[in-house]
Structure 1
Amino acid sequence: MSQIVWIARHANRLDFVNPDWFLTAERRYDPPLSDDGIIQAQQLAKRLKRERIAHIFASPFLRTVQTANAIAQVLNLPIKLETGLSEWLNPAWMTEEPERLSVWALAELFPRIDTSYTSRIAAKYPETHEKVRERSGQAARCLSTEFFPHDILLVGHGASVLGGAMGLVGEIAKTEVKASLCSLVKVVRQDPEWLLELKGDTSHLTHIEEVIRFN
């Protein structure tokens, strides 16, 4: 039997549009989507409407949850928060472990969150580049195996999208996948192999990121 794992990066974030947001933000490392990011997330949801996705997993950061929520509304599915898909906890970007909203606070904002789901893979600050690839790859393998043969969607960040793809198809993803904002990767299981069919598709977007930033 075959299986499709879709891997999407979150849409545009407020601090990319307004860098000064960071200076006064309550949770500096957990920005929401920008206005155009919300539109991007809706465009991604429209793109995925015709696909047979059975489960949606999202990093617990606000921008990934917002992106996943736009898709979950269109597909009428719950959202499972998976820490293994989190942002790269890079000490060069973050001077401390990033503060995020709790699962329960997020569930109040986004009722589609499945509070009974327990994250399968942990993420621990600080992380090296190798570590984020290892744990996001582990998350992709774990979830695809546990929820086989259902098609699943993973919503993550630049580094975890790349790491998730590498966890399934191997080192080829490092040079093939271009994880720009709100892009879409498609990996198909044809036992015993995984095939990379989309490498960061942005054809559903009206505005495409020109320089890829992996945070």
Structure 2
Amino acid sequence: MLRWLQLFRNCSVQPCHMQRNQVAGLRYLHTGKMDLRENQHPYTCQNVIVMRHSERLDNVEPSWISTATRPWDPPLTHSGRVLAFQTGQAIRKSLGFPVHRLFVSPFLRCVQTAAEIVIALSAINDAGESVSRDHTSVDTSKVKVSIENGLCEMLNTIAIRVNVAPEDGKFSFDISQLETIFPNGTVDNNNVEMVYKELPKWEESVSQASVRYQQTITNLADKYPTENLLLVTHGEGTQVALSSYTKDVVEHKVKYCGYVQLTRPIFKNDHSFVGGKFNLETHIGQNGVNYISSQEL
């Protein structure tokens, strides 16, 4: 494993955005189906960012709930929109790799967060002086976005207050309407199938939600092995991404727009791809994420 990590960090391959057209006919093959030689050089490196949404309105203005038609699905505050846009700018400037695809929970606060990030990542003139999406021109070919049910909030009373949840336990989203929030031309309309075609049932357990988040992250990464992904989800989803790739995490806290960065080597075998193990690139206190390992207690 150490040998792989050494090779991965030193891999001198083309960035993923230069490879998409070259590898269109190749098929992804899961690591478990073949043995990799320890000294095999990676074909490319895949990055996956898992992010919590920005500041939600009901936590700032509790009275909003009393007049809302969908009190369980709050929008962002204005400050939340600004934070999301600025986070997108920071990702664009500091991470050193392009984001090719963005997948997002259907909850409004996540969609609005993702919309701001897409604009920041796709801005034609870097938008370095801007503090919001207003008057920012975008290159719609840079990032494609899709809504994914598997990234939705935990559908239980731990995450959604009893007094705002639908009485019948049925949550619904107008996907076509939500897609209009994104800049024209950025939604991927090429029959992108959701990992979870249906929403989870109301009162899913924490363990069920954890499995869902992990499966969604893994399946999306496996589906697009030569592309870098950004997944906008909820606090629990981001915590699952953290705890799944860090040993003995006993406590964690993710701020608004906090994110975890995962990286893995991608190997090529004939007409297939083989993915190495994900490595956590986010350190304690970095990117709005704090955690404690039992080894540090």
- Confirm or deny a common fold (TM above 0.5): yes
| One of 34, 38, 57 as aligned partner of 2:77 | 34
Q: Are residue 25 (structure 1) and residue 65 (structure 2) matched?
A: no
Instruction: Kindly report the root-mean-square deviation, in angstroms, between the aligned alpha carbons of the 2 structures.
Output: 2.3
Q: Which runs of 5+ in 2 are unaligned?
A: 1-41, 123-142, 266-274, 290-297
Tell me the equivalent position of 2:235.
158
Q: Flag as ranges the 4+ runs of structure 1 deviating above 6 A.
A: none
| One of 164, 183, 208 as aligned partner of 2:258 | 183
Tell me the equivalent position of 1:63.
109
- The 8 Å contact of residues 133 and 164 in structure 1, kept in 2 or not, is answered as no
Question: 1:99: how far off?
Answer: 3.9
Letter aligned with residue 188 of structure 1: T
TM-score, scaled to structure 2: 0.62
Question: 1:117: how far off?
Answer: 2.5
Tell me the equivalent position of 2:138.
none
Q: Are residue 145 (structure 1) and residue 240 (structure 2) matched?
A: no
Report how many residues are paired: 202
CA distance, structure 2, for counterparts of residue 165 and residue 98 of structure 1: 29
Counterpart secondary structure, 1:20: helix
Question: 1:196: how far off?
Answer: 1.0
Per the alignment, do residues 43 and 37 of structure 1 end up closer, same or farther by CA in structure 2, a change over 3 Å counting?
Answer: same
Task: Give the % identical residues.
Answer: 29
Per the alignment, do residues 98 and 67 of structure 1 end up closer, same or farther by CA in structure 2, a change over 3 Å counting?
Answer: farther
Letter aligned with residue 123 of structure 1: L
Q: Are residue 194 (structure 1) and residue 270 (structure 2) matched?
A: no
CA distance, structure 2, for counterparts of residue 108 and residue 43 of structure 1: 21
* 1:82-115 Cα deviation digits (max 9, x unpaired): 1111111113524433645411111233343335
By percentage of residues, which structure has more helix? 1
Tell me the equivalent position of 2:130.
none
Tell me the equivalent position of 1:212.
none
Tell me the equivalent position of 1:52.
98
TM-score, scaled to structure 1: 0.84
